[in-house]
Chain A
Amino acid sequence: MAAVEVRPATAAAGRRAWLVVTEQELRDLWLAGRGLPLLFAYTVLLSVTSYLVAANQALNFLEQREAVSLTLQIAVAVGVLLVLLVAADAVSGERERGTLESLLLTPVPRRVLIVGKGVAAMSLWVAAWAVSIPYIWYLGRGVGAVRVAVVSGLVVGSLLALFLAAYGLIVSTLVRSNRLSLSVSLFALLALYAPTQMPTAVQTSWIGDLLVRADPIAAGLRYLGRLIVNAHTPGQDAGWLVGPVVAAVAAAAVALAVGGQLTLRSGERS
């Protein structure tokens, strides 16, 4: 039999695949999806929190810094939670909606799909951070804490958002059910918040200190607190950022590795 004529594949003359995927994911999230409703809920939470904080009539200097710190930590903690919610739905949601196979049938590398979904999830953190700036400005303008709060919040929040986006994608890729993916992701997040609720005596013990430092969420929030409330310099407590940095980098690497093996499962509908 003569060899079949191999027509040249469609020329890759368009935009890079990751850009196409990212743009589509962003459109799906913000124009047709849950992005704006989640952001609305987030702003309501910040509004309530900041109003209650500002309503404290006996606010002295230190308490105002604590008010800024409280609002900032809520902004970061809830902002990265939104990232996790979106990332945990990214792949398992496609499986359940039956749209995953169409994506897998394209010549786009699996990792590119994961990157596009990760960027879309992290866009929620960027929006949350931007929306939190007016609140931080209002509460912190009298005590010179605005710039440090905004910048440190961006740095710490971005590290935590990257960590949780990657973690959510890992779970979403490995788990078949969307409900299970969300459950596992939220449970892990609650576990990461737990060390922040330990009694002070435990936190200051060596084991408590180790736990807090190893927990990227707890370490990141502790760093913010020291920066704002204790007026430490950014470099003074930089050791607290080791946990978030390591967690973010490691999780991102694992997410890319796992995402590269993305496939349909046996018996799975398209």
Chain B
Amino acid sequence: MRAALAALLLLASASPAAAAAPPPRPAGAPPAAVSAAASVALDQTALSVRIGQRFSFTSTVRNDGDQPMTGVVAHLNVLSLDPDVYVDPEDWSTSRTKYLDAIPAHESARLTWNVQAVNSGRFVLYVAVSEQQGTGAITASGALRLAATERRTVNAGGILPLAVAMPAVVLLAGFVARWRRRLR
């Protein structure tokens, strides 16, 4: 009797653990953040770029629940690890909010994010997903750590010849035109 009860208890304790087991993840991908039904995974964890460089990455939104997931909204966020660097996410990507169709149970949707590094420094990018049009839980992905190096391309000394030459050319053209008229 006691053995059967212990076996039952073992079975009961094993099921939730099984149910809570994380879904299989792509090889090399970081561990996914988990909520009741949704999980979001990024295909990269770190990236190094030059300032101004454009890049893209993919996020996979998976419906781990038994019911279809509706009203799903995914949003890209950028934050700076350097307090002196101000980040305006609008400058990094013009399409930071994506509205998904309903995701059937145990299915996933892939989203591609196009970004341009408009500041230099160290940053973290992540994707936050809300379900049921915000009434459900908010799930965030893991971090994509970005290092953007500076590149200075303009200097005052370099533009000086241009700044002098252009008016000089126009002035010369004016003198030539006037001289030709005076010859008449």
Which residues of A line the B interface, CB within 8 A? 30-32, 36-37, 39-40, 43-44, 46-48, 50-51, 53-55, 59-62, 64-65, 67, 131, 134-135, 138-139, 141-144, 230-232, 236
Q: Is the CB of B167 within 8 A of A44?
A: yes
B101 to chain A, nearest CB (A): 24
Q: List 5 A-B contacts (CB under 8 A).
A: A54-B158, A60-B120, A134-B162, A138-B159, A230-B91
On whether the beta carbons of B166 and A62 are closer than 8 Å, the reply is: no
Question: Interface on chain B toward A: helix, strand, loop, or mixed SS?
Answer: helix
B100: CB under 8 A from chain A?
Answer: no
4 A-B pairs with least C-beta separation: A142-B153, A47-B163, A55-B156, A36-B174
Q: Are B153 and A50 in contact (CB under 8 A)?
A: no
A51 touches B150 (CB 8 A): no
Main secondary structure of the interface of A (DSSP, over half): helix
The reply to whether B153 and A62 form a contact with Cβ atoms under 8 Å apart is no
Contact (Cβ within 8 A) B119 A60: yes
Do B171 and A61 have beta carbons less than 8 Å apart? no
Residues on B with beta carbons closer than 8 Å to the beta carbon of A236: 94
CB of B4 within 8 A of chain A? no
Cβ contacts under 8 Å, A141 to chain B: 153
How would residues 110 to 124 of chain B score, 1 for a CB under 8 Å from any chain A CB and 0 otherwise? 000000111110000
| Complex Cα–Cα for A206 and B36 (A) | 42
A39 contact set on B, CB distance < 8 A:
170
Q: Is B66 an interface residue (CB 8 A)?
A: no
A-B contact count (CB 8 A): 89
A47 CB contact (under 8 Å) in B94, B120, B158, B167: B167
**4 further A-B pairs in the complex, CB-CB below 8 A; given A138-B158, A236-B94:** A54-B155, A59-B152, A61-B52, A142-B52
Q: Are A230 and B90 in contact (CB under 8 A)?
A: yes
Tell me, in angstroms, the Cα distance from A143 to B159 when the chains sit together.
16
Report if A232-B94 is in contact (Cβ < 8 Å); known contacts: A54-B156, A60-B120.
yes
A80 CB to nearest chain B CB (Å):
18
The yes or no answer to B151 lying at the interface (CB within 8 A) is yes
Please tell me if B143 contacts chain A, counting CB pairs below 8 Å: no
